[in-house]
Chain A
């Protein structure tokens, strides 16, 4: 199997990997050790002591709390969004673009959706202000819970790694 160095995977995460290697990675079946290496590269980038269990976004992770061993959703900056089974968005700072004026900040006039039909909901970290997600639902739609990962099954059955310890 193709094996990649931790350095190459770190470059992949940074977007600075050369195209030939990136292309080969994209075309080939994923190598067995990739997830482990990926976690390692991510862990090296963050400053918090908690162990990353699963990445959720470019700056958002499910981590094992160093103190409590509970699994929580966490921002790059270390801000906690609560239990990983709960919708982290409910604990985020929310900005809703539901007026034409707010829409024209991000789109040219007349090229944005009619806010009677569609609004943008932006979710920010209350501590560092990183934007973690944007939803584009109809105005009355509840906050979307993107997904609740089955981490145990993923570790055991997909990547063949021991499941990190979890306090109830």
Chain B
């Protein structure tokens, strides 16, 4: 996108391998960046990444073979793992659980029958459906053992049953064996013993099959979550590792010296060699949140509403006081899991959503399905005959029909008009323009209500937030869904289309391990009780530290290079929600340490809720120990451009285009995004175009480009 004479080293690469497009993002040492796009290739992702890189680097007139060796760091995010789970194309896993609980995994949790559904479908029982389990009952074996909720072994493990189960599972063709026993997060002894017995039996059978015990991976409470996550690890992680190895190998072939990292659900990146790869199941959307956090640090914004609008969905995440929230038992691929996940909320309405009329109420319905890469009826080759939101955009002059995706496909305005007329406008007795404008207004209203509700439901005021808008379709709608919400500032990065890939490149090389603990201490407990609680927490941290350091050692780091960040989850005893706190103490041992731990929690609680809501008289519980370890990595730097004054350069002006809004056609000025300079000020109606995205500034709005190539959008009062 940017062409500059001074050749500077290309340092950072971010990859977002989505379902339809693979985006790459390259950043030079001077902060200049390029975005590349290529069609995804599920058969060989490495090829799509290579093509996308070529597309990006062509902007700089450079070659892959020449740039890859220069790169210092590269982060991958993609949907391959998720798709493998959704398509049920993983390994044949065998499962060992407690006798009598063999059906638990197939039954699943009731809510798994409607996870991922729109609200209308959740309350519509006919649509509920259980997916095929990852492990069938035929490859599940129960063994006699019972550990109670306090972690006391009530019935010892019958080892001969474990051996028998192992033999049967191997016989049944298991390619991996998962062991998940009740309460093993409380007392790991039986499960570890079972693991060793399974390994021993496999050795006797001379069979080389990996064994996954839940305590070694995700020792968290909630049995379904723990079992699902451990199974996911066995089922999908190993094949994903092969995919990543292929990607890494292709990089090496082209001279790359960096070690490929993968975006993980907790918001850090991990090596493709990491032991726990299940946590890379969702990564793309998280990139945007990480990128927003970094931008926020540049701009001095602590509170950010991150909004990502793509073809099918609208994702919202909040950054408050410089940090994003982590959800510890999220759901993905219609499975409940115990993985730390950057908290995000989604609504199934996007720029590609289909538009239909309810034949009875005559109301417009958006989605939940979408045209995806097929854009809409405006693209004759799409084979579609249902109107999409993009059709409305094309008809109203929001999008340039001759420059969609940089002119890669040509859109047919008349075809879109005809479909809107027949399906929406005529049945409603409206003109095509008013019908299309109604659709856009409905979408904007849906999104802005969703955004507003997300902020105020968590007890915040939008006036304290800066809204970042990105995603391929984000800048088209930014004005629409931020109008009237009252944000402090609204920011659209010039690289909105590649923002997730950018965000991935911004993420730390960070491992995070969690362990459930149950520590309860009264408000005025004796010092000995406080010290005892500290000792338990310290023990959990030390256990996690071994795991974290092990991961870095795999990648050739020395233990002393690793910066460890201790954390814990705490709540007032008997309350339901815990808060994640970064520990104020580097070791926990004494009653004084405990008091500091409590103070940190109470301060956070007062900030998140209200000081008056604090309830120390209930006593305190620690529900989980958290350990994050990170090493220093190269991150993208933002461009710093000199201020060129408010008047845009002549070469940026591309003419005008008729644009319809508020029941009238106006001539909107067209600008080329790449040619605008820092300091330029544009008053709507205007449309700022680039290959990958279109930024709409209607009348009543104005925007200014800052030195980092961020557009600030304002309502003109």
**Is A44 interfacial (CB-CB < 8 Å)?**
no
CA–CA, A2 and B365, complex, Å: 12
Nearest residue in B to A33 (C-beta to C-beta)?
A: B359
Contacts of B358 in A (CB 8 A): 29
In the bound complex, residues from chain B placing their C-beta under 8 Å from that of A1 are 356-357, 359, 386, 423
Measured CB to CB, the nearest residue on chain B to A158 is B360
A55 to chain B, nearest CB (A): 18
A22 CB to closest chain B CB, in angstroms? 9
B121 within 8 A of A: yes
B458 at the interface (CB under 8 A from A): no
CB-based contact B121/A32 at 8 Å = no
Question: Are A30 and B368 in touch, CB under 8 angstroms?
Answer: no
Which chain A residues border B369 with CB–CB below 8 Å? 24
Is A167 in contact with chain B by the CB < 8 A criterion?
A: no
Are A31 and B118 touching (Cβ within 8 A)?
Answer: no
Do A27 and B356 contact each other (CB < 8 Å), given the known contacts A2-B386, A19-B129? no
Docked-complex contact A27 and B386, CB < 8 angstroms: no
CA distance A32 to B360 in the complex (A): 9
Note all chain A residues with C-beta closer than 8 A to B647.
Answer: none
A 3-22 binary contact with B (CB < 8 Å = 1; else 0): 00000000000000001000
Beta-carbon contacts of B347-362 to A below 8 Å, as 1s and 0s?
Answer: 0000000001111110
Determine the distance from Cα of A136 to Cα of B357 in the docked complex, in whole angstroms.
41
| Interface pair A27/B359, CB less than 8 Å apart | no
Q: Is the CB of A32 within 8 A of B120?
A: no
**A108 CB to nearest B CB, Å:** 20
Contacts A2-B386, A29-B365 given: A23-B127 contact, CB under 8 Å? yes
A26 to B123, CA, bound (A): 12
Which residues of chain A from 25 to 70 have a CB within 8 Å of any chain B CB?
26-32
Q: Complex: how many Å from CA A1 to CA B386?
A: 7
B126 an interface residue at 8 Å Cβ cutoff? Answer: yes
Interchain nearest-CB distance for A28 vs B (Å): 7
- Nearest-neighbour CB distance to chain A for B561, whole angstroms, equals 49
Q: Is B124 in contact with chain A by the CB < 8 A criterion? A: yes
Q: Among A2, A24, A29, point to the contact of B360 (Cβ < 8 A).
A: A29
A residues 90-110 touching B (CB-CB < 8 Å): none
Q: Which residue of A lies closest to B117 (CB)?
A: A27
Q: Which residue of A lies closest to B422 (CB)?
A: A1
When chains A and B are docked, how far (Å) is the Cα of A32 from the Cα of B121?
Answer: 21
B126 with A26: CB separation less than 8 A: yes
Query: In the complex, A31→B369 CA distance in Å?
Result: 16
Chain B 13-37 residues near chain A, CB threshold 8 A:
none
User: In the complex, what's the smallest C-beta–C-beta distance from A2 to chain B, in angstroms?
Assistant: 7
The residue that A27 contacts in the complex, of B120, B357, B423, with Cβ under 8 A, is B120
| Cα-based distance from A2 to B356 in the complex (angstroms) | 8
Contact of A30 among B124, B357, B359 (CB under 8 A): B359
Whole-angstrom distance between the alpha carbons of A26 and B120 in the complex? 10
Tell whether, in the assembled complex, residue A29 and residue B356 are in contact, meaning their CB atoms are under 8 Å apart.
yes
Which residues on the B side are within 8 Å of A29 (C-beta)? Answer: 356, 358-361, 365
| Chain B residues whose CB sits within 8 angstroms of the CB of A23 once the complex forms | 127, 129
CB distance from B165 to the nearest CB of A (A): 31
User: Which of B118, B127, B359, B386 meets A32, CB within 8 Å?
Assistant: B359
Least distance between B182 CB and chain A CB atoms (Å): 29
Interface residues of B in 372-392 (CB under 8 A from A): 386
Q: Closest chain B residue to A27 by CB distance?
A: B121
Other-chain residue from A19, A24, A31 in contact with B359 (beta carbon distance below 8 A): A31
- Please, which residues of chain B bring their CB within 8 A of the CB of A24? 369
A1 to B118, CA, bound (A): 19
Contact check, A28 vs B127: say whether CB atoms are below 8 A apart: no
Interface flags for B41-66 (1: CB within 8 Å of A; 0: not) read: 00000000000000000000000000
How far is it, in angstroms, between the C-alpha of A2 and the C-alpha of B386 when the chains are bound? 7
Per the bound structure, the CA–CA distance linking A28 and B360 in Å amounts to 12
Q: Given A1-B423, A2-B386 in contact, is the A27-B368 Cβ separation under 8 Å?
A: yes
Instruction: Name which residue of chain B comes closest to A28, CB basis.
Output: B356
A24 to B368, CA, bound (A): 9
CB distance from A112 to the nearest CB of B (A): 25
B356-A26 in contact (CB<8A):
no
Interface centre among B359, B360, B368 (most CB of A within 10 A): B359
Give chain A nearest CB distance to B539 CB in angstroms. Answer: 48
Q: Which residues of B contact A31 (CB under 8 A)?
A: 359
Within 8 A of B (CB), among A135-166: none
With the chains together, A29 CA to B356 CA distance in Å?
9
Bound together, the chains give a CA A1 to CA B124 distance in angstroms of: 21
Interface residues of B in 546-566 (CB under 8 A from A): none
Query: Smallest Cβ distance from B613 to chain A, in angstroms?
Result: 40
Chain B residue nearest to A19 in the complex (CB): B129
Complex Cα–Cα for A19 and B131 (A): 11
Q: In the complex, are the beta carbons of B359 and A26 less than 8 A apart?
A: no
A2, A19, A27, A32: which contacts B124 (Cβ < 8 A)? A27
Asked if B118 contacts A27 (CB within 8 A), the reply is yes
Cα-based distance from A42 to B126 in the complex (angstroms): 22
Report B506-533 CB contacts with A as 1/0, cut-off 8 Å: 0000000000000000000000000000
In the assembled complex, which residues on chain A have CB atoms less than 8 Å from the CB atom of B356? 1-2, 28-29
- Min CB distance A25 to B, Å, is 10
Instruction: Please indicate the chain A residues that have their CB under 8 angstroms from the CB of B386 in the complex.
Output: 1-2
Residue of B at shortest CB range from A23? B127
Shortest A151–chain B CB gap in Å is 19
Kindly provide the distance from the CB of B421 to the nearest chain A CB, expressed in whole angstroms: 14
B117–chain A nearest beta-carbon distance, Å: 8
Given contacts A1-B423, A32-B359, 9 further A-B pairs with CB under 8 A are A2-B356, A19-B129, A26-B121, A26-B124, A26-B127, A27-B127, A29-B360, A29-B361, A31-B359
Could you write out 19 A-B pairs with CB less than 8 Å apart?
A1-B357, A1-B423, A2-B356, A2-B386, A23-B127, A26-B124, A26-B126, A26-B127, A27-B118, A27-B120, A27-B124, A27-B368, A28-B356, A28-B365, A29-B356, A29-B359, A29-B360, A31-B359, A32-B359
Q: Which residues of B contact A (CB under 8 A)?
A: 118, 120-121, 124, 126-127, 129, 356-361, 365, 368-369, 386, 423
The 4 lowest CB-CB distance pairs between A and B, nearest first, are A29-B358, A26-B127, A27-B121, A32-B359
